[in-house]
Amino acid sequence: MADVTTTTPTTQRVEIGTGALAADDVVRVARDGAGVVLAEEALAEIARTRAVIEALAEDEAPHYGVSTGFGALATKRIPPERRADLQRSLIRSHAAGSGPEVEREVVRALMLLRLSTLATGRTGVRVGTAQAYAAMLDAGITPVVHEYGSLGCSGDLAPLSHVALALMGEGDVRDASGRRQPAAEALAAAGIDPVVLAEKEGLALVNGTDGMLGMLVLALADLRALLVTADVAAALSVESLLGTDAVFAADLQSLRPHPGQAAAAANLRAVLAGSGVMASHRGPECTRVQDAYSLRCAPQVHGAARDTLAHAAAVADRELAAAIDNPVVTPDLRVESNGNFHGAPVAYVLDFLAIAVADVASMSERRTDRFLDPARSNGLPPFLADDPGVDSGHMIAQYTAAGIVSELKRLAVPASVDSIPSSAMQEDHVSMGWHAARKLRRAIDGLARVLAIELLTAARGLDLRAPLQPSAATGAVRDAIRAAGVPAPGPDRFLAPEIEATVEAVTSGAILRAAQGALPGHDLS
C-alpha cells in the first residue's frame, strides 16, 4: 500500500542475530527506515561456517557454488584461479531485471531478509561481506531493482543480483534521500568498500525467496489495517442505509465459530453502538426482516479474509525463521544441496490473499452501489445528488469502484499455478511467487481505494439522514473525512480530489484512529 521513495533512518537499529526475524522489524526497516546491526552471535557463526567453505575451496572434488558452475552448468568444474571470476560473473549475468523500479520499501525488505539469512551462518559467506551488506542497508543505500526478472525459484535471482551488484560497487542505487547515482559513488560516500566476492558468496547473496517474503510481510501489515477499515466502512453503510445490526449479535455469530467472523462482528457492534440512526427504526413499525447480503454477511466475508490473513501470517513467521540457500552449511558443518529456495509456500498464500482482497472489495462496492439506487437506499435521493438530474452525485464514484473491483478479480487469478521451465530444464518447476507478490501489492492499493469510496459515500448518506444522530464512532469517522477536505453534501463538485483525500485518510490510518478514539472500551482489531 505504501510507496516509500525516501528513507529517514531512525535512531534505533534492528539487531540481526542467528534466530528468527520479527515481522514488525521487517516493517520498521523497510518502511520506517530503521537501521541494522549484526549481533556478535551472528558474526561468530558466520566466521565458524566460513571456515568450512574455505576448506572446500582447496578440495579436488566438485562442490556446487564453490568449484562448479550454476544451474544447468553445475557439472562444469571451475579451476581455483577462476573462482573469483565465477562469483563476479554470476552476479553480473543474473542482474538481468527489466521494467520499472521496484518500490524502495520492497528492496529494503528484500535486503533485510537476505541479511538475516547471512546472519544465521548457513550460507558460508565471510564476515566482511555480511558486514558490508549490513552497512549498505544501514546507510539507506537502496539498489535499483526492476519489476521483472524473478521466477520465484532458486531464489528471487534477478532482484537479489541487482543488490549484490551494488555491493560490488557496480550498477545504480538510490541514496537515503532518494537520489539515483552509481553504486560506487554511494558506497564511497558512506565509507563502504566494494566487496570482491570469494567462493560461494555470489550464490549466497542471490539464492533466497526474500523479495516475495518481504512483500508478503508488508502486505500483512497493510491488510490488518484495511480489514478493520472494511468493518468500519460496513458499519457506516449499515447505519446510513437503515439496516439492522441484530444479525451481528454475538450469540448468532458463535453458531459458526470462525475467529475472524467473531472479530468482525464485534467491531460492527462496537462501531454502531449508541447510534440514533439505528434506534430510529428499531420499533415495531419497522417491517424489515433482513438486509441484503452485502450488509448482513459482512462479518462472514470480512472474517474469512481475516482467517486467510492469519494463515498467511503463520506461513510468513515460518519463513522468517528460515535460512534459505543452496547449498547450505548445516549446524554440524555439513555442506548439503537442498530445495528450500522454492517459493511455493509463500506464493500460495500471496495468491490466497489476492482472492480475499478481491472479495472484500467486491462486497464493499456492492454496498456503495446500494446508496445510489432510490429503490434500495431507504429514502435517500438518487445517487445522493443534491438536485437529481442537474447533479449526478456519486454516480461515477461507483463506476470507479466497479472498475477497480473488476481489476482485482483479474489480479486474483493465481500466479503460482503458472510454471515456466528455465535453465535448460534444470529448473523445470518454478513458483512465480515474485509475481504473486507484485499483483497482491497492486490489489491492496485497489482495496484501499474501494473502501475509501464506500466511506465517502456512506458519510454523505449519513449527513443526509440528519437530524438523526450517528453513533460516536461513525460520527467521528464522518468528521475525519470532512477534516480531510471533503465538504458536507451540496451541489456537484470536482469529485476526484475528494476520493483521493479519503484514500489518504484510509492509508494513513486517520479513519481507524477516528473510530478507535470514539471507542475507549473496544479495541478495533
**pLDDT for residue 184:** 98
Q: Cα(375)–Cα(88) distance, rounded to whole angstroms?
A: 68
In this structure, of 67-81, 324-338, 435-449, the range with the lowest mean pLDDT score is 67-81
Mean pLDDT to the nearest integer, 292-307: 97
- The yes-or-no answer on residue 64 being catalytic is yes
Report whether 18 contacts 121 (CB < 8 A). Answer: yes
Whether residue 97 is predicted with pLDDT greater than 60 in this model: the reply is yes
In this structure, of 180-194, 351-365, 412-426, 437-451, the range with the lowest mean pLDDT score is 412-426
Q: Cα(160)–Cα(154) distance, rounded to whole angstroms?
A: 11
pLDDT band of residue 6 (cuts 50, 70, 90) is very low
**pLDDT for residue 71:** 60
Mean pLDDT to the nearest integer, 490-515: 98
Cell numbers placing 96: 538481468
pLDDT over 70, % of the chain: 93
Work out the number of other CB atoms within 10 angstroms of the CB of residue 110. 29
Whether residue 452 is predicted with pLDDT greater than 80 in this model: the reply is yes
Mean pLDDT to the nearest integer, 278-301: 88
Selected catalytic residue, list 64, 133, 148, 348: 64
Taking only the tens place, the pLDDT of each residue in 334-366 is: 999 898 889 899 999 999 999 999 999 999 999
Taking only the tens place, the pLDDT of each residue in 229-252 is: 999 999 999 999 999 999 999 999
Q: Is 409 helix (H, G, I), strand (E, B) or coil?
A: helix
Mean pLDDT for the chain overall: 93
In this structure, of 240-254, 375-389, 425-439, the range with the lowest mean pLDDT score is 425-439
Locate all alpha helices (DSSP H) within 121-156, ordered by sequence. 127-138
CA angle, 203 then 206 then 211, to 5°: 160
Nearest to 397 by CA among 447, 453, 444: 453
Mean pLDDT to the nearest integer, 89-113: 96
Taking only the tens place, the pLDDT of each residue in 207-236 is: 999 999 999 999 999 999 999 999 999 999
All structural domains of the chain = 10-208 (1.10.275.10), 216-517 (1.20.200.10)
**pLDDT for residue 478:** 98
In this structure, of 101-105, 115-119, 322-326, 476-480, the range with the lowest mean pLDDT score is 322-326
Whether residue 427 is predicted with pLDDT greater than 90 in this model: the reply is no
**pLDDT for residue 70:** 63
Residue position matching grid coordinates 539464492: 207
Residue 417: exposed, middle, or buried by beta-carbon count in 10 A (0-12, 13-18, 19+)? exposed
3-state secondary structure 281-306: CCCCCCCCCCCCHHHHCHHHHHHHHH
